Amino acid sequence: METLIDYEHLRLIWWLFLGVLLIGFAVMDGFDLGVAALLPLVARTDLERRVAINSIGPVWDGNQVWLILGAGAIFAAWPAIYAAAFSGFYIALFLVLVTLILRPVGFEFRNKFADTRWRGFWDAALVAGGVVPSLVFGVAFGNLLQGVPFRIDDDLRVFYEGGGLLELLNPFGLLAGLLSLAMLTTHGAVYLALKTDGAVRQRAAAYVRAGAPVTILLFLLAGLWVALGLPGYALVGTVVTDGPSNPLFKQVELRPGGWLANYASHPWMVAAPVLGVLGPAGAFIATLKDRPGIAFIASATGIAGIVATAGVSMFPMLMPSSLVPSASLTVWDASSSHRTLLVMLVATLIFLPLILAYTGLIFRVLRGRVGPADIQRNPSSLY
């Protein structure tokens, strides 16, 4: 069984799978986060807020499977990344966890009482559950590109020596966080324009017309910052791609413009940033022409391009170390064993198509718009 695929290609496949899962989370759960974050902007009355909430109410929990799959894949396929990330980003991830816990509670509890203060509190919880994860995930990616202050001792134990949450909120990290927030709120607005009627739909479309250009501007600004002022991490010397997972058996150096090297050696990778610009632009144009279905596809394509841009720019780096560059974790030295990756690959090839089929079926069954009349006909609905 272990001779079916060699170790190098298994590692590469799991790097691709990790990217697919992250993009799947950003696209599918991203519009849930975006809708929640936009509640104060697109819904001004309780009825309008219920329209927005009910547009995602039946699907948000199913969409979270992508977050579970992504976290599970990191834990099982890239255990060193999992350990280093939860050490370096512990407080930030704790904030995400708290707000993600508030989200299902908000969905379940807000309609239990008609009291204005009660519903206002849970609406605020839903907004926090949309804004905080959207911002923090972007901040995390921004810090990955700068390098994370950790080291690894001779026993392969990870030691994080950073300054905590405030250190993560550096200028480039905040820029990446704002890009993530703009990207996901725009995606959420596109979804609302597709799934709702009335004033909520009109305000959501207006937000897309503002949010898409902002997303493009922040993405280009981040790219310019990376090109001109952010050194990249590069492997030097002989690179062993099929050896044991020991991050200490390599040499790494920082190079000005190093994150752009892959585009010179593999020109096809430029497709990722191109899609990152064309996707939001397509969503903007499609929204102007009142084609929300096309706008949603374009927005999802833009998200895929932006996430893929970070991945292909860093390859083969997964988590560079700013403290000891040679301890950086890469695709070639941070994975699980060959057998573990192979068994996981077989399981993924079986269950991922089932998840995709189930997701497609659910969205087909729940197709159609949600409007004020639907809420008024069913005033005791859950959300």
Residue 28 is assigned to a structural domain of this protein: yes
Domains of the chain: total: 1
Instruction: Please answer whether residues 140 and 94 qualify as being in contact, where contact means their C-beta atoms are separated by less than 8 angstroms.
Output: no
Phi, psi angle pair for 245, to nearest 5°: -80, 85
Residue 382 is assigned to a structural domain of this protein: no
Cα dist. 119→47, 109, 113, 158, 165 in Å? 11, 8, 7, 44, 31
Residue 363 is assigned to a structural domain of this protein: yes
Which pLDDT does position 64 carry in this prediction? 86
Residue 2 is assigned to a structural domain of this protein: no
Considering only CA atoms, which of 92, 143, 127, 200 is closest in space to residue 320?
143
Cα dist. 62→66, 69, 93, 285, 363 in Å? 8, 12, 21, 30, 11
Which pLDDT does position 380 carry in this prediction? 63
- How far apart (Å, rounded) are the C-alpha atoms in residues 92 and 122? 22
Which pLDDT does position 3 carry in this prediction? 62
Residue 137 is assigned to a structural domain of this protein: yes
Residue 241 is assigned to a structural domain of this protein: yes
Residue 319 lies in domain:
7-377
Which pLDDT does position 382 carry in this prediction? 56
pLDDT in tens, the chain (383 residues): 456 789 999 999 999 999 999 999 999 999 999 999 999 999 999 889 999 998 998 888 888 888 888 888 898 999 989 888 887 788 888 889 999 888 888 888 888 887 889 988 999 999 999 999 999 999 999 999 999 999 998 888 888 887 777 888 899 999 999 999 999 999 999 999 999 998 999 999 999 999 999 999 999 999 999 999 899 999 998 888 888 888 988 999 999 888 999 999 999 999 999 999 999 999 999 999 999 999 999 999 999 999 999 999 999 999 999 999 999 999 999 999 999 999 999 998 998 898 889 888 888 888 888 888 777 777 666 56
Residue 383 is assigned to a structural domain of this protein: no
Residue 1 is assigned to a structural domain of this protein: no
**pTM attached to this predicted model:** 0.93
Which token pair is 233? Answer: 């991490």
Enumerate helices (H) and strands (E) in the chain, giving the number of each. Answer: 15, 6
Omega before 316 within 30 of 0, i.e. cis: yes
- How far apart (Å, rounded) are the C-alpha atoms in residues 161 and 354? 42
